[in-house]
Amino acid sequence: MDKQFVADRYAKIRLAHGISGRKLSLELGQSTEYINQIENGRSLPSLEGLFNFCDYFHITVGEFFEDKFVYPVQYDKIIRELNRMDALSLETVYALLRLINEKKT
């Protein structure tokens, strides 16, 4: 992982929640340029800044860095719903996902 990964991840998570960079900066108690500098790859957040970002969006630092989850916010929503299902419903969802993905290729 590199600086660009952090920049892209910040942007994806923020945009998935529909929050402007300015608003997020203010919510985190930072200057209005704080998020912009991170998302443009000009700087990295401090460790405390990363923790605050993750706390704000209710994700763990591990989820932030989990690169196999391209859209962590959307995955989290889906997983919460999947956890409410029984085994038969999960198998049905799985079959549907496979069908959708097969049509893409």
Q: What is the pLDDT of residues 65-91, one digit of tens each?
A: 988 877 877 888 898 999 999 999 999
The pLDDT of residue 1: 65
Q: Which residue has the tokens 């799985």?
A: 94
> Whole-number mean pLDDT of the chain?
91
Domain count, the chain: 1
Q: Is the per-residue pLDDT at 105 higher than 70?
A: no
Kindly state the average pLDDT of the residues 50-55.
Answer: 96
Terminal C-alpha separation, the chain: 28
Residue 54: CB atoms within 10 A of its CB come to: 18
Range of the domain at 83: 3-104
Of 83, 78, 54, 77, the C-alpha closest to 66 is 54
Looking at residue 48, which CATH number applies to its domain?
Answer: 1.10.260.40
CB 63 within 8 A of CB 69: yes
DSSP label of 8 = H
